[in-house]
C-alpha cells in the first residue's frame, strides 16, 4: 500500500518523516529491524539513501530528509518514493514483515529577484 503525503517539501529543504508502528491489536510496537530507502520515480537511489539502517528502532520513529535528499536533478524528476522495511514480533509471530511506501513531490525552489 502506498501512502501519498499531503506535504510538499521545498527543494533542498527539510522533511520530517514520522512512522508509528502498531501490531494487529493496535498496540504500540518497536520494530526489531528497520531500514529505509529514498528513490525517484525511476527507481534511482537519491543521495546514497539505500537500505539506511536505523540502529535502535522505536515505536515512533522520526527520519529527517534534508538538503541533497530533497534536491531536484536537472532532468526535473520531482517525485520521491520513501520505503520502510523491517521486522517486528507480536502475539501472531516473530520476525513479521514491515513494508511501507510513502510517495511525495518536491516543490521547485525558485528565487525571485
Would you say residue 2 has pLDDT above 70? Answer: no
Alpha carbons 59 and 81: distance in angstroms, whole number: 22
pLDDT > 80? residue 39? yes
Instruction: Specify whether the CB–CB gap between 9 and 107 falls below 8 A.
Output: yes
pLDDT tens readout for residues 50-92: 999 999 999 999 999 999 999 998 677 899 999 999 999 999 9
Q: Which three cell numbers stand for residue 13?
A: 529543504
Integer CA distances (angstroms), 66 to 15, 30, 104, in order: 6, 25, 14
Evaluate if pTM is beyond 0.85: yes
Q: Topology of 2-105 in CATH?
A: Immunoglobulin-like (2.60.40)
Strand partners, 104: 80
Amino acid at each position: 500500500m502506498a501512502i501519498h503525503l499531503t506535504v510538499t517539501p521545498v527543494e533542498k529543504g527539510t522533511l520530517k518523516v514520522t512512522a508509528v508502528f502498531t501490531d494487529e491489536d493496535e498496540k504500540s510496537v518497536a520494530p526489531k529491524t528497520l531500514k529505509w530507502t529514498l528513490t525517484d520515480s525511476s527507481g534511482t537511489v537519491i543521495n546514497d539513501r539505500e537500505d539506511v539502517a536505523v540502529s535502535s528502532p522505536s515505536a515512533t520513529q522520526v527520519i529527517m530528509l534534508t538538503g541533497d535528499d530533497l534536491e531536484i536533478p536537472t532532468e526535473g524528476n520531482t517525485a520521491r518514493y520513501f520505503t520502510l522495511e523491517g521486522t517486528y514480533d507480536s502475539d501472531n509471530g516473530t520476525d513479521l514483515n514491515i513494508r511501507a511506501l510513502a510517495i511525495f513531490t518536491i516543490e521547485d525552489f525558485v528565487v525571485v529577484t
